Amino acid sequence: MDMRATLDGAVIMAPMTRGGNLPYRRLCSELGATITMGEMALSRKLLRGHRPEFALLKRAPDERCFAVQLAGNNAEEMAEAARLAVSRGADFVDVNCGCPIEDMTRRGLGAALLQKPKRIAAIVDAMVKAIAPVPVTVKIRLGWNEDDRNYLVVAKAAVDSGASAITVHGRTRAARYRRAADWEAVGEVVQAVSVPVIGNGDILFPHEIAAFKARSGCTAVMIARGALIKPWIFREATDGYIDFDAPARLQLLERYVTLGREHFGTDERGERRLRGFLVWHCGFWCRYVPRHADGTYPVMQEREEHFEPRNELEVLLSRDDAAAHEWLCDLLLKGADAAGPAPALPTAEAANSRSDMAEG
Ligand SMILES: Cc1cc2nc3c(=O)[nH]c(=O)nc-3n(C[C@H](O)[C@H](O)[C@H](O)COP(=O)(O)O)c2cc1C
């Protein structure tokens, strides 16, 4: 595969644990995502034959270009896992060097690899040899923390070992989501390596896709939280800004339920699993806020407190309390009669206890 041709101008759905579930990837594909990435799979679990991990390699027939993302720190294991991914239909395989979660980094996985560029080189080298001509890509952050922003060293090590593209999430591991993504740093990587660079971080609206590309010169962009909050960002990438009103959003959620039932099944277990995903997705969907009346745009780092929903349905869709999410799930899974009347607004105490957004 010619990665430069594949990536040129692409708007990629990011790898997201939980968020990148197969029915949600299909929804994003239907809305225009041309490249989708699966949820991170652990190479060691794959080699041990762990069934749930194999499910993460599954590609939907309507995914036009599908990548599997692997996490691991052992070159031979990663090479073997890459072979498994390709045997199950991956168009390319990505190495996770960015996951900040403590449970991963203390085992030397994800972002912990940023501190070991030689290890990254060995992993990429082994994977390239194992699956060539299928491309291997690497997803990195800017470094472990602000004192160790070694992204140029890491990116060059990966490319010198045969990586066909580098995704740069413009933050360090320590920054998590607290500061804005550094798009200039992504531009430095573009200048430093000979392969296409995919820019990632803080894209929620189509003008931000253009701004990111202009500022960094990256070949493609990748979107994570934006895709969870407003999956039609992929349509906006070609058609320009769209405000999906509340009934249109409800229709998208209904479509997700249909795709979810096709994947999880319609028996009790399938419905339970789908409901679990629906409730989880509600935590992102409720954050949608349209462009402000004065033409400015909301940002993603904080929840917009001044948004005035335009009708009753929008009030409900924008609520982030558990009662509203359960009600919405009932509405979607069982129909209006079973959902009953909309739940009362939560007390101030309940509203304050809402959970933080998940993080990858
Ligand atoms: C729910 C969630 C799960 C994530 N899981 C992964 C993952 O498995 N692998 C990965 O490389 N990044 C993961 N990420 C990080 C994103 O791919 C992306 O790099 C980051 O969110 C910045 O992009 P954004 O500003 O568009 O959200 C995850 C992010 C979120 C919100």
In this structure, the residue with its CA closest to atom 12 of ligand 1 is 360
Q: Which residues contact 210 (CB under 8 A, 6 or more apart)?
A: none
At residue 89, the pLDDT reads 95
| CA 213 / ligand 1 centre spacing (Å) | 19
Atom of ligand 1 nearest to the CA of 203: 26
Summarised one tens digit per residue, pLDDT across range 38-56 is 999 999 999 999 999 999 9
Task: Kindly state the DSSP code that residue 252 receives in the 8-state scheme.
Answer: H
Sorted by where each begins, the domain ranges of the chain are: 3-239, 246-352
Q: Which residues contact 198 (CB under 8 A, 6 or more apart)?
A: 7, 10, 12, 137, 165, 166, 167, 168, 218, 219, 220, 221, 222
Give the pLDDT band (50/70/90) at residue 347.
low
Which SS3 state, helix, strand or coil, does residue 166 take?
strand
Whether the Cβ atoms of residue 256 and residue 27 lie closer than 8 Å to each other: yes
Task: Name the nearest CA neighbour of 246 among 235, 261, 230, 233.
Answer: 230
Please determine, for residue 302, whether its predicted confidence score (pLDDT) is greater than 90. no
Strand partners, 37: 67
Please determine, for residue 271, whether its predicted confidence score (pLDDT) is greater than 50. yes
Peptide bond just before 133 cis, omega within 30 deg? yes
Find where tokens 């990663």 sit: 78
pTM here?
Answer: 0.95
Residues noted as catalytic: 99
Summarised one tens digit per residue, pLDDT across range 121-178 is 999 999 999 999 999 999 999 999 999 999 999 999 999 999 999 999 999 999 888 8
Residue 76 has a CB neighbour count (10 Å cut-off) of 14
| CA 167 / ligand 1 centre spacing (Å) | 12
Q: Give the distance, in angstroms, between the CA of residue 81 and the centroid of all CA atoms in the same chain.
A: 21
In this structure, the residue with its CA closest to atom 29 of ligand 1 is 360
At residue 260, the pLDDT reads 98
Please determine, for residue 190, whether its predicted confidence score (pLDDT) is greater than 90. yes
Alpha helices in the chain (DSSP H): 3-7, 22-30, 43-47, 51-55, 75-87, 102-105, 117-131, 151-160, 183-192, 206-216, 225-229, 233-239, 246-264, 268-285, 312-318, 322-334, 336-339, 348-352
Average pLDDT over residues 210-234: 98
Please determine, for residue 58, whether its predicted confidence score (pLDDT) is greater than 50. yes
| CA 88 / ligand 1 centre spacing (Å) | 23
- Residue 270 phi/psi, 5-degree rounding, is -60, -45
Give the pLDDT band (50/70/90) at residue 357.
very low
User: Pocket residues for ligand 1 (CB within 6 Å)?
Assistant: 14-19, 39-40, 69, 96, 98-99, 139, 169, 200-203, 223-226, 358-360
Whether the Cβ atoms of residue 229 and residue 244 lie closer than 8 Å to each other: no
Asked if CATH classification 3.20.20.70 holds for the domain at 3-239, the reply, yes or no, is yes
Measured distance between the N- and C-terminal CA atoms of the chain, rounded to whole angstroms:
28
- Please state the three-class secondary structure of 333-356 as a single string: HHCHHHHCCCCCCCCHHHHHCCCC
Encoded amino acid at 244, one letter:
F
The Cα–Cα gap between 227 and 133 comes to: 30
| CA 5 / ligand 1 centre spacing (Å) | 24
| CA 359 / ligand 1 centre spacing (Å) | 6
In this structure, the residue with its CA closest to atom 16 of ligand 1 is 224
* Residue of 18, 151, 177, 225 to mutate, ligand 1, most atoms within 8 A of C-beta: 225
Atom of ligand 1 nearest to the CA of 40: 8
Residue 321 has a CB neighbour count (10 Å cut-off) of 18
At residue 22, the pLDDT reads 98
